[in-house]
Amino acid sequence: MIHACKKSDLEAILALINTAAKSYRAFIPANQWKEPYMHEQELVREIAAGIKFSGFEQEGVLKGIMGVQKIEDVTLIRHAYVDPSIQRCGIGSALLSHCRTSINGSILIGTWDDATWAISFYEKHGFCKTSQSDTVRLLHSYWTVPETQIEASVVMANSEWFEINKS
Ligand SMILES: CC(C)(COP(=O)(O)OP(=O)(O)OC[C@H]1O[C@@H](n2cnc3c(N)ncnc32)[C@H](O)[C@@H]1OP(=O)(O)O)[C@@H](O)C(=O)NCCC(=O)NCCS
């Protein structure tokens, strides 16, 4: 049921992102909300920058997606979204486990600091929040995001990252 997404999945990926991202609206700073949350050109740019999406399909319909982007010495999990009608049914976990089989070493995830559900999801999978100063440094190093988004974000990391970066 989980497969590598193809070019032909682009529209379905976009629809899933823009439907599932609606849960952010009431939580993130108003100046960070946009509709649609992601434009097609942005998604095309993200894929061109090296994000590889895996998709969870049920009866031929994409129900969840998760992207993986290798950058230098770390791997980022990018754009994880599950159809709101079947969230909390294990699809995100299945996608994360699938993605992790192909990753060695440090994994980083950036999300909204107020997205408590996403933080809880990643904590259940062994990720922890990095400090505020590490979050800012990591977002500058591995992501291209505006300063206003950085202020409202948190970067989470796996135990391998914490092991490598312990002082
Ligand atoms: C975060 C997300 C990808 C997780 O996928 P999922 O299929 O719902 O997650 P799973 O069923 O595998 O795991 C469930 C766990 O995730 C967390 N979670 C997911 N949705 C939640 C919600 N609405 N409220 C609280 N916790 C939630 C909880 O820890 C939950 O465990 P619990 O049910 O025992 O409390 C999905 O909920 C989603 O698309 N959310 C909206 C977009 C988003 O926040 N994406 C993350 C971007 S980094």
Domain ranges of the chain: 2-164
Question: What average pLDDT does the segment 147-160 reach?
Answer: 97
Q: Could you tell me if the CB of 82 is within 6 A of ligand 1?
A: yes
Q: Is the pLDDT of residue 157 over 80?
A: yes
Q: What is the pLDDT of residue 167?
A: 74
- What predicted TM-score, i.e. pTM, was given to this entire model? 0.97
Kindly indicate whether the domain formed by 2-164 is annotated with CATH number 3.40.630.30. yes
In this structure, which residue's CA is closest to atom 33 in ligand 1?
Answer: 88
Q: Could you tell me if the CB of 124 is within 6 A of ligand 1?
A: yes
Question: Over the stretch 38-55, which tens digit does the pLDDT of each residue have?
Answer: 999 999 999 999 999 999
First to last CA, the chain: 41
In this structure, which residue's CA is closest to atom 47 in ligand 1?
Answer: 80
Q: What average pLDDT does the structure give for the chain?
A: 97
| Residue 48, Ramachandran bin (φ over 0: left; ψ between -120 and 50: alpha; else beta) | alpha
